[in-house]
Amino acid sequence: MGFKQNGNGVWVPDPIEYELGTAISAGDWNANSGGGRFIPPMRDELALAHKCALFKLAGVTHLEFHDTEAPAEKAEQITEIVHDCGLKIAMCTANLFRRPEFINGNFGSPDPKVRQAAINYTKAYITVGIEIFEAEKYVYWNGSNGTIMPLGVDYDGVYARVAECLDEIISWMITTYGREKALIFCIEPKPNEPPSWAVPADVGEALAIIAMMDPANRPFVGLNPETCHSQMASKRYAMELGLAAAAGKLFHVHLNGGSENPKFDEDRGFGDINPSIAVETVFTLQQIGYKSVVGLDVQPLPTDTNDQQCESIARSIRNFHRALTCCQRLDVTALNAARLSGDQATIAEMFTAAVCGC
Ligand SMILES: [Mn+2]
């Protein structure tokens, strides 16, 4: 839990370690009645205990919550329901997008009152995460941060202000709880939706913002890359994982999927649309040595019935295990030899054979 000092005296995350694929989290928001701007709600809202039972049946071990679904005043009761079902809470995140004050951004807002509100919600929910949920991680998803119009925000200031807000939050968290108990703080980048140009847009931008922080606070902030967000940014997800890992910043993951070059966050099942992306992702997680809880951020399909509310999650977990099986077919020694000699033809053959199993 929290952070520990490595052999060089550097503070690094110290999450509970699991064999890859044995600890899977889902968002409380991943079972729902559905509906949106262009689709009708097709299902009932389920009570939390019912949802927990369905998530557990799907193979989920941990849940994740926004402060809007699980507000501080209900946090103890919610924790009890989750624990009674045999689940744990892996992550919590303050909603900095659906509240009216954040309609025009949050940490990057030019308005100090908006930034202060975002900081206050974040600190309050970190408190809940540590003191009640006993969560390991906190996620800042950029949400409304960025701009919907050209010159809608000062382009240098918007990045610097995010770094300043993160510095204030991390300094407070360390002073209040100590480094060992601090939540593992993750930035989840996304390039657009709701803003047309969101900040930070991808892993590289998030790393640039972390590099603007006080060096004493930098070790406590990392990444939560999400598959569909990376696809929206025209990035190859597994390479985003590699970049975060190379910087020592792969703190959490949100796996899901989308269509080719998606324009919005489709949150489809992991491996549903493109199984080869699932195999490449799981193989990369293995090679990186990712051992923490694997997060899913997957929505029910618009066509799913009441009984299928957690089917996208269940299928994603099955697909994760299918991908693990495919990865066993990849000979790492032979792959590395082909990489060394630059034999991309052999790599292509190995990869497709592993994905297809024939
Ligand atoms: Mn997500």
User: Which residues have their alpha-adjacent CB atom under 5 A from ion ligand 1?
Assistant: 226, 254, 297
Structural domain contains residue 122: yes
Interatomic CA distance for residues 134 and 30, integer angstroms: 21
Structural domain contains residue 341: no
Residue 226 CA, ligand 1 centroid: distance in Å:
6
Interatomic CA distance for residues 334 and 205, integer angstroms: 34
Distances (CA, A) of 87 to 52, 157, 243: 8, 41, 31
Residue 298 CA, ligand 1 centroid: distance in Å:
8
Tokens matching residue 35: 């509906």
pLDDT at 223: 98
pLDDT at 280: 98
Structural domain contains residue 358: no
Q: Which amino acid is at 321?
A: H
**Structural domain span for residue 206:** 3-327
Residue 348 CA, ligand 1 centroid: distance in Å:
31
Structural domain contains residue 138: yes
Q: Write phi, then psi, for 316 (nearest 5 degrees).
A: -60, -40
Over its length of 358 residues, how does the chain's per-residue pLDDT go in tens digits? Answer: 799 999 999 999 999 999 999 999 999 999 999 999 899 999 999 999 999 999 999 999 999 999 999 999 999 999 999 999 999 999 999 999 999 999 999 999 999 999 999 999 999 999 999 999 999 999 999 999 999 999 999 999 999 999 999 999 999 999 999 999 999 999 999 999 999 999 999 999 999 999 999 999 999 999 999 999 999 999 999 999 999 999 999 999 999 999 999 999 999 999 999 999 999 999 999 999 999 999 999 999 999 999 999 999 999 999 999 999 999 999 999 999 999 999 999 999 999 999 999 9
Structural domain contains residue 42: yes
**What is the CATH classification number for the domain harbouring 44?**
3.20.20.150
Interatomic CA distance for residues 331 and 351, integer angstroms: 10
Residue 340 CA, ligand 1 centroid: distance in Å:
35
Interatomic CA distance for residues 320 and 156, integer angstroms: 40
DSSP state of 34: B
Residue 296 CA, ligand 1 centroid: distance in Å:
8
Domain count, the chain: 1
Residue 273 CA, ligand 1 centroid: distance in Å:
18
Residue 38 CA, ligand 1 centroid: distance in Å:
21
Residue 253 CA, ligand 1 centroid: distance in Å:
8
Specify the pTM. 0.97
Residue 188 CA, ligand 1 centroid: distance in Å:
7
Tokens matching residue 268: 């489809």
| Burial class of residue 14 in the structure, from the number of CB atoms within 10 Å of its CB (0-12 exposed, 13-18 middle, 19+ buried) | middle
Residue 185 CA, ligand 1 centroid: distance in Å:
14
Structural domain contains residue 115: yes
pLDDT at 106: 98
Q: Is 311 helix (H, G, I), strand (E, B) or coil?
A: helix
pLDDT at 250: 98
Distances (CA, A) of 29 to 114, 156, 187, 226: 25, 34, 19, 16
Q: Could you tell me if 90 and 135 are in contact, meaning their C-beta atoms sit under 8 angstroms apart?
A: yes
Strand partners, 223: 187, 250
Residue 255 CA, ligand 1 centroid: distance in Å:
8
Structural domain contains residue 349: no
Q: What angle do CA 59, 64, 68 make, to 5 degrees?
A: 140
**At which residue do the structure tokens 């950029």 appear?**
142
Structural domain contains residue 147: yes
